[in-house]
Amino acid sequence: MKLNNLSLAIISASVLLSGAVQAYDAGDYIVRGGLATVSPNVDSGNLYANGAEQSNSTVDLNSNTQVGLTLTYMIQDNIGVELLAATPFSHKLKGKGGIAGLGEFAKTKHLPPTLSVQYYPMSKESSFQPYVGAGLNYTVFFDEEFIKGNEGSFKSLELDDSLGLTAQAGFDYQIDESWSLNAAVWYMDIDTTGTFKSIDGSTNYKIDVEIDPWVYMAGVAYKF
């Protein structure tokens, strides 16, 4: 009887422990949160003034870190659909080449909602769960304004919203039945056209910019 009881206890413990390392099943939701950094990989065209190209007059954007949040729904044990959101990222635009004298002449905010399909190659018994994904990003720019004295020279800054492809890779490392450590990286195709005017309205400016950032996030994940 004691041997049978001991056997049952061992079997029960094994079931509980194996359940603790189960990763993802169809129907699971996974919330991931942490610090996200947008690091632009800028390829800027030249500035145009009233249709005339200004040679070697380009712009750059700085990096910014905010709170990132994703929600994944597992449609199969190895396939998930993820929505990426974040608090608004803020970037400063800096003149280069022929307009380097402007310095950091403007700033903007953006939100990058991204929808991706993810593939998890490991079995659900593995506590280490790498994944890859691909999808679409829609970037919304807002609160564009000139700064550091340039508001006295220019006005009416607008950046077009962007729709582009995105790719990602990441992993979760399970620490208990619900919680995991997470790290992820995205590459996003973000292109925009900036337009603005001289303060008296006599000159119309235009510039095309490929921002194409790497986005890095590290934090935790919770499954329910």
Mean pLDDT of the chain: 91
Tens-place pLDDT, residues 75-124:
999 999 999 999 999 999 999 999 999 999 999 999 999 999 999 999 98
Count, residues in the chain: 224
50 phi, psi to nearest 5 deg: 50, 40
Residue 206 near residue 194, CB atoms below 8 Å? yes
Is the domain covering 2-223 a CATH 2.60.120.10 domain? Answer: no
pTM of the model: 0.85
Picking from 143, 158, 153, the residue whose alpha carbon sits closest to that of residue 196 is 158
Quick check: helix, strand or coil at residue 7?
Answer: helix
> In the predicted model, what is the mean pLDDT of residues 11-39?
74
Tens-place pLDDT, residues 28-71:
999 999 999 999 999 999 999 999 999 999 999 999 999 999 99
> Residue 166: what residue type?
T
Domain locations in the chain? 2-223
Residue 44 near residue 209, CB atoms below 8 Å? yes
202 phi, psi to nearest 5 deg: -80, -20
Picking from 34, 114, 36, 112, the residue whose alpha carbon sits closest to that of residue 72 is 114
Beta strand 191-198 with 154-159 is antiparallel
Structure tokens at 57: 């007059």
